[in-house]
Amino acid sequence: GIQVEQSPPDLILQEGANSTLRCNFSDSVNNLQWFHQNPWGQLINLFYIPSGTKQNGRLSATTVATERYSLLYISSSQTTDSGVYFCAVGTSGSARQLTFGSGTQLTVLP
Amino acid sequence: NAGVMQNPRHLVRRRGQEARLRCSPMKGHSHVYWYRQLPEEGLKFMVYLQKENIIDESGMPKERFSAEFPKEGPSILRIQQVVRGDSAAYFCASSPQWLLHEQFFGPGTRLTVL
């Protein structure tokens, strides 16, 4: 099956800093989503982005499908951004079965 | 538009008991997915259902686990004779009928087996 690798595994930032999280995948995808799992364990949808670029406030994401990677940008980070960020992909053979990466644990310090 | 609803949010069972987890998809969504997050592991797909049909159960353990999505009512994930290794967070997601569409996740049910 498809392999999904996220980097870095851990990231500690000072409030106000910017960061870039990366998601590499081993095969063609037709579904890619970014999620934030907050400290209470809830999964929050951030982006549905199988290709292209999207922005939502301080967050933006870019997927370059031909090169098999996606980036999540967080600008002016806040303590509430802390948590785990997951990338999940679906392939043409099983678009409805999301395969998750192992996540990036983000800690934003005040 | 209410989001995906799961209940209970927390469930405690003793070894050997049955656990029933419920999921109500978002309004207008006809597809339901179950995922499991084991401690120290990532989120893993379990099963994909449409109304009255199991479409893909490739991620379901072969024994003790079953899922349904009846014509009326919520989707149910049932775990019989629970063991300590079943302790995990179980997430339900839903999506509309179109193939290429994002999945929206519920808040999860945290199952603890004593």
pLDDT, position B97: 75
In 3-state terms chain A splits into helix, strand, coil percentages (rounded to 5) of: 5, 60, 35
Give the span between the Cα atoms of B6 and B33, in whole angstroms.
12
Q: Does A91 touch chain B (CB under 8 A)?
A: no
Q: In the structure encoding, which two tokens stand for residue A80, read together?
A: 């509430």
Asked whether the beta carbons of residue A42 and residue B95 sit closer than 8 angstroms, the reply is: no
Query: Which position has the token pair 């037709």?
Result: A30
* The pLDDT value given to residue A17: 97
**By CA distance, what is A104's nearest residue in B?**
B42
Instruction: Tell me if chain A has a CB within 8 Å of the CB of B94.
Output: no
DSSP B34-47: EEEE-TTS-EEEEE
* Separation of alpha carbons A10 and A20, rounded Å: 12
A68: phi then psi, degrees, rounded to nearest 5: 60, 50
| Contact between A31 and B100 using a beta-carbon 8 Å cutoff | yes
- Answer whether residue B1 shows pLDDT above 60: no
Structure tokens at B11: 């469930």
Q: What percent of chain A has pLDDT over 70?
A: 98
Of B3, B4, B70, the residue nearest B34 (C-alpha): B4
Residue B25 phi/psi, 5-degree rounding, is: -70, 170
A29 touches chain B (CB under 8 A): no
- The model's pLDDT over A45-83, given as tens digits with 9 standing for 90+, comes to 999 999 999 999 999 999 999 999 999 999 999 999 999
Q: A96 CB near a chain B CB, below 8 Å? A: yes
8 A C-beta contact, residue B24 and residue B105: no
Determine the pLDDT at residue B99: 62
pLDDT at B101: 78
The letter for the amino acid at A58 is R
Contact with chain A for residue B58, Cβ under 8 A: yes
Report whether pLDDT(B28) > 90: no
Do A98 and B99 lie within an 8 Å CB cutoff?
Answer: no
CB proximity B15 to A under 8 Å: no
* Set of chain B residues whose Cβ sits within 8 Å of the Cβ of A98: 33, 35, 43, 45, 93, 103
Among A58, A54, A52, A57, residue whose Cα is nearest residue A29: A52
Residue of chain B whose Cα is closest to the Cα of A40:
B107
| Residue in chain A lying closest to B110 (CA) | A41
DSSP code, position A51: S
pLDDT value of position A88: 96
pLDDT tens, position by position, B35-62:
999 987 889 999 999 988 999 999 999 9
Question: Among residues B54, B113, A23, which one has the least CA distance to residue B46?
Answer: B54
Within 8 A of A100 by CB-CB distance, chain B residues are 35, 42-44
Closest partner CB to B48 (pick from A33, A35, A97): A97
> Is pLDDT at B14 greater than 80 in this prediction?
yes
